[in-house]
Amino acid sequence: MLALLDAFADFFEMKYLFLMSLFTLSFQLDGLARIWTAVDGRTIEADLVRVDGEVAVLLMRGKEVRVPFSKLSEKDVEFLKEQAEKPAVVEASELFGVKLVAGKTMEASGDLDEKTMAALSGNKLKPEKVKIKVSLPDDFDPAKPQSVFWTVGGINNEAERLRGNLGVFRRGAMAAQKGWVVISADTEHGNPRESTVKICKGDDDFHFFVIEEMTKIWPNFKEWKHACGGHSSGAKASFFRISQLLKADANVVGGFFSGCNGAYATMASEETKVRKSAWRKVKGFQSTGDKDKLVSAKYIENVTSGMKDGGIKLIRSKTFPGGHSMSSEQLGEALDWFLEEEGK
């Protein structure tokens, strides 16, 4: 046994660090204890720490020892290759002290900065806090490009304002099923807006703050593909969210407008000072129940025309069997379309 320990120690002493610098991918493993067999048949028990290229990093007597595959049995080498093929564990990001874990839905709360509070000082309830709800796909890896869907709530009364954007988070269920990151944000008093269909001071600053907080933990956040959507008054409010994302230089690919009888792209641009030309890359999907008494054929035509006037050129308008409700099936269709390259 001592001889084998000395042999492993010899491997560590050899200058494999230079050789392994050629291998850039390292797989972290959770201390897999195993009986290892050398090519000469001798064995020893050690924990597998990680695999670096074609070197096993083992933990023996509290010290890490690097052992090349060539010194181990075929069975051990096969085991190591299987471990190397497993997806690397992605360290969870933290938002206001809350770990954002793949495959989970989490809510975090934190303080607004002075600039954002000042922008919202005209609100009746004087917000000081932000609440952000996030759902991550099972295979979420912030190092890879992601798609982000923002759920948007509307305001027809005070109860809906208090319910906010987080109150309609469930409308993003189809996006979550399709592997999108789903996100919503509110103040501690609900929706930072106080009206859906008029210019509101502070909502843009609030969402700029949210976007910057997400960018702090995921530097490529703005480069990911963003879309947003809502139903009825939430669909109208979605025009403002798109405009905010555009103003923040986020990569906006689409808006889903369900049960919508008014287009507010132009007003949203006035609120955020976004140029009309910025909307050209945004796809607009209008979804309406064929028995929707609140959205007539004339309203559908007006919304389509309003989107065009606001700068949205890529538009699809579809109906489904139903009334004033949201079609998850058509949301799924819209999400797929948003990710298609232009011209398809």
CATH code of the domain covering residue 333: 3.40.50.1820
The model's pLDDT over 69-120, given as tens digits with 9 standing for 90+, comes to: 999 999 999 988 888 777 655 667 899 999 999 999 999 999 999 999 999 9
330 inside domain: yes
Average pLDDT of the residues of the chain: 88
Same domain, 59 and 199: no
Domain extent at residue 53: 2-85
Task: Enter the DSSP assignment of 72.
Answer: B
Give me the residue label for tokens 């759920």. 151
Task: Report how far residue 165's alpha carbon sits from residue 218's, in angstroms, rounded to the nearest whole number.
Answer: 22
Count: domains in the chain = 2
Domain boundary among 59, 85, 111: 85
Q: Is the pLDDT of residue 28 over 80?
A: no
Task: Report how far residue 184's alpha carbon sits from residue 182's, in angstroms, rounded to the nearest whole number.
Answer: 7
Contact assessment for residue 159 and residue 153, using Cβ atoms and an 8 Å cutoff: no
Q: What is the pLDDT of residue 10?
A: 45
Phi-psi region of 61 (alpha: psi -120 to 50; beta: other; left: phi over 0): left
344 inside domain: no
Task: Report how far residue 216's alpha carbon sits from residue 223's, in angstroms, rounded to the nearest whole number.
Answer: 13
Q: Is the pLDDT of residue 250 over 90?
A: yes
The model's pLDDT over 187-207, given as tens digits with 9 standing for 90+, comes to: 999 999 988 888 888 999 999
Q: Is the pLDDT of residue 25 over 70?
A: no
CA distance to 15, 37, 44, 152, per residue, from 93 (Å): 35, 38, 37, 24
Q: Is the pLDDT of residue 14 over 80?
A: no
Q: What is the pLDDT of residue 16?
A: 34
Q: Is the pLDDT of residue 6 over 70?
A: no
Domain boundary among 44, 59, 85: 85
Average pLDDT for residues 151-165, to the nearest whole number?
A: 94
327 inside domain: yes
Same domain, 292 and 211: yes
271 inside domain: yes
Same domain, 235 and 305: yes
Give me the residue label for tokens 């390292």. 26
Domain boundary among 35, 59, 85: 85
Q: What is the pLDDT of residue 240?
A: 96
Domain containing 30 — which CATH number?
Answer: 2.30.30
Same domain, 63 and 141: no
Spatial CB neighbours of 16, under 8 Å, sequence gap ≥ 6: 55, 66, 68
Same domain, 65 and 190: no
CA distance to 220, 222, 328, per residue, from 160 (Å): 33, 29, 21
Same domain, 174 and 133: yes
pLDDT band at 343, cuts 50/70/90? low
State pTM to two decimals: 0.75
Q: Is the pLDDT of residue 140 over 70?
A: yes
Same domain, 221 and 183: yes
